[in-house]
Each structure stands twice: as structure tokens, then as C-alpha cells.
Amino acid sequence: MTATIKRVSSRKELKQFIRFNYELYKNNPYSVPDLYNDMLNTFDKKKNAAFEFCEAEYFLAYKEGKIVGRVAGIINRHANEIWNKKEVRFGWIDFVDDPEVSSLLLNTVEEWGKSKGMEYIQGPLGFTDFDAEGMLIEGFDELSTMASIYNYPYYPQHLDRLGFEKDADWVEYKLTVPEGLPDKHRRIAELVQKKYNLKIKKYTSTKQIINEYGQAIFELINETYQPLYGFSPLSSKQIEQYIKMYLPLINEQMVSLVTDSEDQLIAVGLSMPSLSKA
């Protein structure tokens, strides 16, 4: 039976769009599912501040009455203006190992993009760099993380057959933290701190960090991420959204904030326990 495609047009179908990923990977020990409510909010045009400058459609592929694939088509007009491109993005793409299905999904996004005046297709990308991006091409037997994409090995094979080419490499590293900081590193850190009159900020509550530096953290991200591949600065509404979404989850003991002689934030490091295993 020939595969068919349907645009998501109801909340019920949006929930099916989200849950298809859970169903496809339910027996895979390496995949870490997205948080359901986070996905609902991401795809909700009333709750995701990215819709200030983005438009999107979501599509489901069916075969023999069953959902066999999904994909989001996204146009980030802010990013297109910054990078001087006319690109439609595809994201949150999942499909069974059937070339007809993957071709139908991507052709649908491509045609939708053309109808909006776009000339190129690129992905997997989300609305912003805070969404999961990219496609796994190796390391399929490594446990994924909440912040990264996991996909079956046949995904890149399908895209190769469809004529897609790699545009950039993103590399994920697993680091083993030493029990103590090496003396050489400690001495260098002390010299730099003294020379530039840097201060390491300490706090006793997450609320303090949010109140004093919540805005500054994301402004620093906007400044430092600017040259990175495909990046578009977060708007004030997005910053407000991400402060509420992410910062309450952090442990103040696992945050490093560095300010200069004028108490301006110049560096931030956040870490948190892995949520990959229940």
C-alpha cells in the first residue's frame, strides 16, 4: 500500500506526532525520550516564543492505517535574514525503515517550503539552538542524552539516497572528571583571576542566580554563540521563556559564574546530573 501524508491539524494529532517517537524507540536501550510536556509546549504556537519569527507545520505519514513517520517543517525568518538564506528547516524527523516514507516526508517539507518562497532545505534543525539538532551518524551503541538526538543507523542512509549532503559536523564528547584539579591548571586559573580582577560568584539558592544573572546568562549566550553554525539570537520573549523553563532546574552548587572588575558576567558554566537513566 502506498504511503500517505497528513498535516497535523488537531491537538489529538499533535499528541500522536509526539508519541510516535516513543513508540518507534520503545525497545531501544540507547534512546532517551523527550519530556512530553516540553514537546507540547515547543510545538504550541501560543506558548513557544520562537513563533514571533518562525512558522511551522507538522506532518504525519501513514501506511496501512498506521503512523509510520513524522516531520516538522520550519521557517526561521530571523535566521534566514542573519545568514542571508532562503531555507526551510526539517526537524523532529522519524520514520520506519521504508524509503517511500522518508522520501514522502522530506518532499512534503520541501514543497511546503517552496510554497513559502524558500529555495533550500536544511536539517535536522529546530526552531532555535536550544532544540535538539543534527543526525547521529556513529555511536549508535552509546546512551543518548536529554539534549541530543538519537536515531537508528538507517536514517543517514535514507538521506544519502535522497541526495542530501553533510553541511557540518557536530561532535559530542564524554569527559571523565578527575578527582582533583591538577596543580598546573589551578595555578593558571589563580594567575588569570588575579591579573584581570575576576570574581567567582557564589550563591546559596537558585532564585538568587535567576534574579541577579538570569537575563545576563542568555545575553552572554547570544553574544558568544553568534558565529556558530545556523545560530540566531534569542529574542527578549525567548529569554524570558527559557529563564522560566531551564534555570529553576539547576542546582546552585553546580553553577559557575565569573564576572569582571565591573561585575559584568563574562563566563558561565552549568552542569546537572544525567537524566538519561530512570
Residue 4: pLDDT over 90: yes
Query: How many whole angstroms separate alpha carbon 42 and alpha carbon 50?
Result: 9
Strand order, beta sheet including 199-201: 199-201, 255-259, 265-270
Residue 120: pLDDT over 80: yes
Task: Please list the helix, strand and coil fractions of the chain in percent, rounded to the nearest 5, in that order.
Answer: 40, 20, 45
Q: How many helices (H) and strands (E) does the chain have?
A: 8, 8
Residue 278: pLDDT over 70: no
On the 0-12 / 13-18 / 19+ scale of CB atoms within 10 A, 197 is: exposed
Q: Residue 27: left (phi > 0), alpha (psi -120 to 50), or beta? A: alpha
Comparing 132-141, 191-200, 242-251, the range with the smallest average pLDDT is 242-251
What pLDDT, in 10s, does the model give residues 258-271? 999 999 999 999 88
Q: Which CATH class is domain 4-161?
A: alpha beta
pLDDT of the residue at 274: 80
Q: Please, what is the average pLDDT of the chain?
A: 93
Residue range 161-178: mean pLDDT, rounded: 90
What pLDDT, in 10s, does the model give residues 38-92? 999 999 999 999 999 999 999 999 999 999 999 999 999 999 999 999 999 999 9
| Domain boundaries for CATH 3.40.630.30 within the chain | 4-161
Query: How many whole angstroms separate alpha carbon 268 and alpha carbon 209?
Result: 11
pLDDT of the residue at 129: 86
pLDDT of the residue at 253: 87
pLDDT of the residue at 146: 82
CA-CA-CA-CA torsion sign (6, 121, 72, 152)? positive
Query: How many whole angstroms separate alpha carbon 200 and alpha carbon 241?
Result: 26
